[in-house]
Amino acid sequence: MMRQMREATKPIMLFTALAFVALMVFEWGMDASGMSSGSVGEIGTVNGDPVSYDAYMASYRQLYDQVQQSQEGLISTQQNREIEDSAFDQVVTQILIQQELEERGISVSNQEISDAAQFSPPEYLIPQFMNEQGQFDVQGYQSFLASLPADQLLILEAYYRDVIPRGKLLRQVTSGIFVSDGELWERWRDQNEQAEIRFVPFDPATRYPDAEFTITDVEAQAYYRGNEEDFEVPARATVKAVVLPKTPTAADTAATLERARELRTEIVEGEDFAAVAQRASADQGSAPLGGDLGVVSGGQMTPQFDSALFAAPVGQVTEPVRTTFGFHIIEVMERWAQDSVRARHVLVPVERTDESEIRLLTLADSLEDMTETLTVEEAAQGVGATVTTLEISETFPFVAGAGQVPEGADWVFEEAAAGDVSPVFETDQAFYALELIDSSPAGVLPLAEVRASIETTLRLEKKLERAREEARDVLARVRGGEALVNVASDLGLGVRNAGPFTRVDFVPGIGRQNAAVGAAFGTPVGEVSDVVTTASNAYLIEVVDRIPADSAAWQAQREGQRASVTAQLEQQRLDEWITALRASARIVDRRSEVLQQPGEEAPIQMPMGF
């Protein structure tokens, strides 16, 4: 028991301390002016209540750390901007929740805190008190609570004072959600009932020649006037771009190859392969296993890896093998046949060296300096880069080599005039700078430019109507006693088979969740459906077989399904509620006025959401 208590003490301190920090930030940490001790103060308001700098920075640092831990490269300026916005949104949501708690008069009594502390431990603690039978050891947990010093009990109390009211609010927001047996069965049936069909697609786009369908000026103009929103275009701009890619250079590749050769030499000279893989391999799946890939069949790996793998003698360490993932050092441990081996490897990815990274950053700094006084072409020449001229749109700004460039687009469409040169921006893929040549605002394309696409659309509609007529004729013959396959053969129509499939599956030749799939489940077995049309095709469907959903299996899992579906609906309701709260709130964001370099503040952490 003492060991169990010692193991649990650290998790509870971490978990409750975070909740305690949140409580201090939102309830105790600010005076009437919104200022905290040593803080910048308020950086915005929510319905008149201040958004504190400390709360914002706590949220920012937590999100920043999460993103950094999820990727190897440094966080780009665009990512940092997204993190800042997410952090502000997160704090706004917390304040809105706190305001709602106060408005609804939701509070917590001492008795509720006592009961929760004794019988409802934080979820993080539960695994620490599970016995060998998989049951929660209530007595052990309560003994643990009795051993906590007073200061830690105060922290735990603060946690429950924060969590319990939020739980009450969540129950109020999501009250009334009930999923009936009928709804559950319908969901189960859609995912498990199967149909098998044969069908005739009329394929109007290819079956009927274009020349048989004329589109008049009147028809084209009427379609254009009725669908102008389809021809709206975003703001566009022509720019010159200089890009400094972050991709590894030839020198980086050579350095990586040399590193791979050094690792191979270590192994060949006696170091344990598994130890080298655990220490140096970038393959996170196999490295903990000493690089072991298990049994590998021919064709399972990339062609270069596959060729080296099945050419290598058993027990021999290969020279580094280059693939798109990097350089591999491979050892075949066992071979059972020509196309089945057990192998292990060390992966050394091709990455920029520290020296190469410094050169790139220095180059980006030089480009930044030159774009302040020179054109893009002059600046590019100064750093040995090339310039491309391209068009970008406001809705999808993309520059080859840099990827999507939202920061550059903001500059182009909101700040720049023709001839201006941007500062240097950064994406995950590159550093880049732009020079604006010209731009055009959002608008609607003229009829002359879209006439061809309108004619294509109207021509398909006429073809589809022809297909419906032909399908009705075929259906009449079938219902007159002829077999569908025979009539289709007479008319040169193909007959296809599909299934078994469910209502939610993608059906080759038909698609997903459309009228044709519905007809496959709505038509009795052995019969042919009415003519079914989708956006681009017409079908006749004959149901060959239908396999009903297993009602006994549904009954066995029904309550688990109900809990899962209810949780999904509750989350949906909560998301909608928070969205509505934000839409009706008076939110003022003053970060651009108050903050200079928020990313340099000391890190704090706080929990998010409920």
Q: Tens digits of per-residue pLDDT, 526-551? A: 999 999 999 899 999 999 999 999 99
- Identify whether 318 is part of a domain: yes
Give the helix/strand (H/E) hosting 238: strand 236-245
User: pLDDT tens-digit profile of 158-175?
Assistant: 888 888 888 888 888 888
Report the chain's mean pLDDT, rounded to a whole number: 85
- Tell me: do 31 and 49 sit in the same domain: yes
- Tell me: do 316 and 365 sit in the same domain: no
pLDDT at 40: 56
Query: At residue 8, does pLDDT exceed 90?
Result: no
- Tell me: do 139 and 60 sit in the same domain: yes
Three-state secondary structure call for residue 221: helix
Q: Averaged over 407-422, what is the pLDDT?
A: 93
Q: Averaged over 559-580, what is the pLDDT?
A: 91
Q: Give the domain range for residue 530.
A: 194-217+449-547
Query: Where is pLDDT greater, at 545 or 247?
Result: 545
Q: Which whole-number Å values give the CA distances from 346 to 4, 262, 280, in the listed order?
A: 39, 12, 7
- Tell me: do 205 and 270 sit in the same domain: no
User: pLDDT tens-digit profile of 288-341?
Assistant: 889 998 888 887 788 888 888 888 899 999 999 998 889 999 999 988 767 788
CATH code at position 513: 3.10.50
The DSSP annotation for 265-277 comes to HHHHTT--HHHHH
Query: At residue 30, does pLDDT exceed 80?
Result: no
CA distance 185 to 133: 34
- Identify whether 187 is part of a domain: no
Bridge partners of 512, per DSSP, are 506
Query: What is the share, in percent, of the chain residues with pLDDT greater than 90?
Result: 55
Point out the domain boundary residue: 330, 348, 366. Answer: 348
Please list, residue by residue across 157-179, b when 16 or more beta carbons sit within 10 angstroms of its beta carbon and e when fewer do.
Answer: bbbbbbbbbbebbbeebbeeeeb
- Identify whether 223 is part of a domain: no
- Tell me: do 373 and 341 sit in the same domain: no
pLDDT at 226: 94
Asked if residues 291 and 344 have their Cβ atoms less than 8 Å apart, the reply is yes
Point out the domain boundary residue: 441, 457, 473. Answer: 441
Considering 117-126, 152-161, 336-345, 578-587, the range whose residues carry the highest mean pLDDT is 578-587
- Tell me: do 321 and 375 sit in the same domain: no
pLDDT at 237: 94
- Identify whether 555 is part of a domain: no
- Identify whether 222 is part of a domain: no
Q: Flag whether the pTM goes above 0.75.
A: no
Low-confidence winner among 138-152, 347-361, 406-420, 499-513 (lowest mean pLDDT): 138-152
- Tell me: do 319 and 464 sit in the same domain: no
pLDDT at 521: 94
